[in-house]
Amino acid sequence: MTEIDFRGKKAVIYARVSTDEQTMGQSLDVQIASCRRWCESKGVEVAKVFNEGDHTGTTLMRPILSQMVLFCNVEKINLAVAYDSSRFSRNDELDALKEMIPKTILVFADMGATSDDFMGDMTTAILGKLNKREVKLTHKKTSDSLQRKMDEGFHVARPAAFAIKEDLPNLPKGLVRLEPYEVFDDRKKIIVQRKPTTIKTETELWFMAASGYSVPQCAREWGIKVTTLKDYLRGRTKEKHRYEIPERLTRYRELTERVRDGKVSGMLPIPDENPDGKGDSDE
């Protein structure tokens, strides 16, 4: 088979790693170096390097890849070189990518194959299926792990922003954070400080209501979102992994039923905690 002569052609290099791949030690620098060696061996000029960190290959909707597509079309780039086909896509989307840059040939430096020759088409088709299968297996392992945690009584989504103190014994482990905690911001390598869960007693809640506070006013007073407090009082959660709300939350629904458009339509009494009916009042 005659080898294609790429001498004098212009190329871009595209490198990508996901969060998991970074954890396993895979590097953008290693990919770029391999692609540069291939270009040098073929006499290809590298016009620009595009590197995308912390992004999954299961979709073509990636910011740096989109920049590469635009650059290839505007600058009439001949080749787009990646370490292997999975850098462009882990699903069967290479054909879609080729349609986006019809005058640019995709090159996979690890095999020296391209999207325009028979062996390249055969290899990428097989690898595409294998990569898609790997993605499905990874998703299933993650899902099974989360389900096992939930079966053991753990909350696996974002911690709650608000909770009633009397409900704490009935809530899943990990739902409530008593101390500030740090997380990586979404797709950014910076640490963000998160506030602990705001915890109030049932008496505090009813005292605020009896004093004429609406749910939005309570939320602002306590530094939480209005929707967060409303959802809690209605006994529901927007978290992906739902949990059973304690029966006591049905008592709170009376409060939200009296709140319309941030206005209180009636005062609520503080729950009577004394059997003889002689409780304190702020009338």
pLDDT at 45: 95
- Nearest alpha carbon to residue 88 among 55, 119, 113, 111: 55
For residues 34 and 244, give the distance between their C-alpha atoms in angstroms, rounded to a whole number. 52
All structural domains of the chain with their residue ranges = 10-134, 162-264
What are the DSSP calls for 111-138, one per residue?
TTEETTSHHHHHHHHHHHHHHHHHHHHH
Report the pLDDT value the prediction gives residue 252, as an integer from 0 to 100.
Answer: 57
- HSE (side-chain half, CA atoms, 13 Å) at 156: 15
Beta-sheet pairing, 10-17 with 191-194 = unpaired
Q: For 10-134, which CATH superfamily applies?
A: Resolvase, N-terminal catalytic domain (3.40.50.1390)
Which CA distances in Å does 25 have to 18, 22, 30, 55, 252?
A: 11, 5, 10, 15, 50
Cα(58)–Cα(139) distance, integer angstroms: 11
pLDDT for position 268 = 43
pLDDT in tens, the chain (283 residues): 456 788 999 999 999 987 665 544 468 888 999 999 999 999 999 999 999 987 777 788 889 999 999 999 999 999 999 998 888 887 667 888 888 999 998 888 887 666 555 455 555 555 556 666 666 777 777 777 777 877 777 777 777 888 888 878 777 787 788 777 776 655 555 566 678 888 888 788 878 877 778 778 888 888 888 888 877 776 655 444 444 445 555 555 555 555 444 444 444 444 444 444 444 444 3
- pLDDT at position 119: 52
Instruction: Report the pLDDT value the prediction gives residue 36, as an integer from 0 to 100.
Output: 94
pLDDT score, position 72:
95
